[in-house]
Amino acid sequence: MPAALDHNFAKRLNGTHIKNAATRWDMVKQLREDIRNFKAANNCDRIVVLWAASTEIYIPMSEEHKSLASLEKAMKDNNTEVISPSMCYAYAAIAEGAPFIMGAPNLCVDIPAMWEFSKKQNIPIAGKDFKSGQTLMKTVLAPMFKTRMLGVSGWFSTNILGNRDGEVLDQPENFKTKEVSKLSVIDNIFEPEKFPDLYGDVYHKVRINYYPPRKDNKEAWDNIDIFGWMGYPMEIKVNFLCRDSILAAPIALDLVIFSDLAMRAGMCGIQTWLSFFCKSPMHDFEHQPVHDLFQQWRMVKETLRNMVGETAPSYLD
């Protein structure tokens, strides 16, 4: 089926099999029809829609994103500066009663208008940005540093990848979206306001380099400058050579299964318990996201136990 693509949101992509829609609202109508046709053609009782396409350019949250009414008006007015193609996919999925998962760092479903719509339609939403490589390592190492009270003065991260994702992220406007997602992790874990001597002045740098010969292989390289007792400096080097799709595919499958489970369990809105799979977990304005991988895993297990009426095991003698 033709894709909903706007070249302005991913300038490195030149799609040929794309939808011809006069407005964003028309784009939504076409996507809703695609969902209905797919469901009928494949004899599906339930479906889940997952976005695993390219990172769109960075757009800040605007007034049009703050309520469902203003979002729909912007779609009908064809305000292409604030309504991205991925927002059309999210709206269409929710409107058709399908849980929606955002696998990229796009603003998309992570706006008050979509939160409102998902609750109105009783639909689960999850995301955003699959946590598969370098950030996965950060959410393991940073909790260890904090638990052992090891200070961190700097964390330099660079990535080398050669697939279409790397090509899109080679565009500065698209890299900005990914950078915001990657940079948010360690501050949340370290809580520098509580531990200023250890984490109050961390220099955190993230870079992504497009290198075509790597194809779907990815290299994530980190240099971490830490310090211990009496301020003695130490260094940690991490070189993670991996395959992007091999890491991301199981995440996508788990998110589809769990989102469908959430739907069947009557859960709607932001599924914070699925933060375990996400680099930049969605959250409303009243809560802070959890980035610590081990706390995230505890959230998954507690939610599943609650669904089946079990209590957490006690390890006290």
pLDDT digits (tens, 9 = 90+) for 10-62: 988 888 899 999 999 999 999 999 999 999 999 999 999 999 988 899 999 99
Q: Which CATH superfamily is domain 7-130+247-308 in?
A: NAD(P)-binding Rossmann-like Domain (3.40.50.720)
Give 282's contacts (C-beta < 8 A, 6+ positions apart): 102, 109, 110, 125, 126, 127, 128, 270, 272, 275, 289
Q: Which residue has the tokens 């969605």?
A: 282
Torsion angle in degrees (nearest 10) through CA of 281, 284, 288, 292: -20
- Residues 109-128 have a mean pLDDT of 96
Q: Which residue has the tokens 């639909």?
A: 123
82-86, 89-93, 181-185: least confident range: 181-185
What are the start-end ranges of the H helices in the chain?
Answer: 24-41, 68-76, 85-95, 112-120, 134-147, 164-169, 172-190, 196-199, 244-264, 293-308
Q: Which amino acid is at 159?
A: N
The pLDDT tens digits for 204-227 are 999 989 999 988 888 999 999 999
User: Distance between CA atoms of 57 and 84, rounded to whole angstroms?
Assistant: 9
pLDDT at 317 over 70: no
Contact 50, 65 (CB under 8 A): no
pLDDT at 314 over 80: no
Contact 117, 92 (CB under 8 A): no
Highest mean pLDDT among 184-188, 229-233, 308-312: 229-233
The pLDDT tens digits for 65-78 are 999 999 999 999 99
Of the candidates 98, 121, 146, the residue with the CA atom closest to the CA atom of residue 256:
98
In words, the CATH class of domain 135-243 is alpha beta
Give 156's contacts (C-beta < 8 A, 6+ positions apart): 203, 205, 222, 223, 224
Asked if 7-130+247-308 and 135-243 have one fold, the answer is no
Distance from the Cα of residue 214 to its chain's centroid: 24
Q: Is 238 exposed, middle or buried (0-12, 13-18, 19+ CB in 10 A)?
A: middle
Q: Where are the domains of the chain?
A: 7-130+247-308, 135-243
pTM above 0.85, yes or no: yes
User: Distance between CA atoms of 27 and 35, rounded to whole angstroms?
Assistant: 13
User: Distance between CA atoms of 68 and 71, rounded to whole angstroms?
Assistant: 5
Per-residue pLDDT band for 124 (boundaries 50, 70, 90) equals very high
Per-residue pLDDT band for 97 (boundaries 50, 70, 90) equals very high
Distance from the Cα of residue 74 to its chain's centroid: 24
pLDDT above 70 covers what percent of the chain?
100
Phi, psi for residue 184 in degrees, rounded to 5: -75, -10
User: Distance between CA atoms of 49 and 121, rounded to whole angstroms?
Assistant: 15
User: Distance between CA atoms of 5 and 176, rounded to whole angstroms?
Assistant: 19
